Amino acid sequence: MENLLKLCLFLLCFETALSVKCVLCPSYKNGKCVDGNRTCTTKPGETCMIRRTWSENESNKLQSAESRCMDDCKFDEIFSEGLTIHTYCCDYEDFCNSISLPIVMS
C-alpha cells in the first residue's frame, strides 16, 4: 500500500512538472483582456496558444486576439481578405502566450 502511495505521488509530481500555466483570455481589445486575464494549466497533449488577427487595411492594426490552453495546437499564418491571422503555440514556460510578448514566426 505504501509503494502504491509513493507511485501516485511520483506520477502527480511528474504530471505537474510537464504542465505549464497559460494566459486564458477569449477576447482582447486595445491589447487588454476584455474580461480580465485568467489562467489555465495545460493537460497532457496541450500547449499554450495565442491567435492574433491584424487588418492590413489599417496599417497592420491588431484587430483581435485570443489566448488559451489548446489540444493539438499548430503554428499557422493565414492571409485572407485583408487580414493576417497568426497562431502561436508554446510550452517552454509559464505564460509564454502572453499578448505582451513579441511575435515569434516559425
CATH number of the domain encompassing residue 61: 2.10.60
Give a yes or no: residue 106 inside a domain.
Answer: no
Domain membership flag for residue 65:
yes
Does residue 71 fall inside a structural domain? yes
Look at residue 5 in the predicted model and tell me its pLDDT.
53
Q: How many domains does the chain have?
A: 1
How much is the pLDDT for 3? 66
> What is the number of alpha carbons within 13 Å of residue 81 lying toward its C-beta?
0
Distance CA 3, CA 49 (A): 38
Digits of tens for pLDDT over the chain (106 positions)?
676 555 555 554 444 458 999 999 999 988 889 988 899 999 999 999 999 999 887 777 888 999 999 999 999 999 988 899 999 999 999 999 999 988 766 5
What predicted TM-score, i.e. pTM, was given to this entire model?
0.77
Cell of 10: 511520483
Q: Which three cell numbers stand for residue 40?
A: 489555465
Instruction: For residue 11, tell me if it sits in a domain.
Output: yes
Note whether residue 98 is domain-resident. Answer: no
In a domain, 25, yes or no: yes
**Residues spanned by the domain of 74:** 2-90
- Cα–Cα distance between 89 and 102 in angstroms, integer? 13
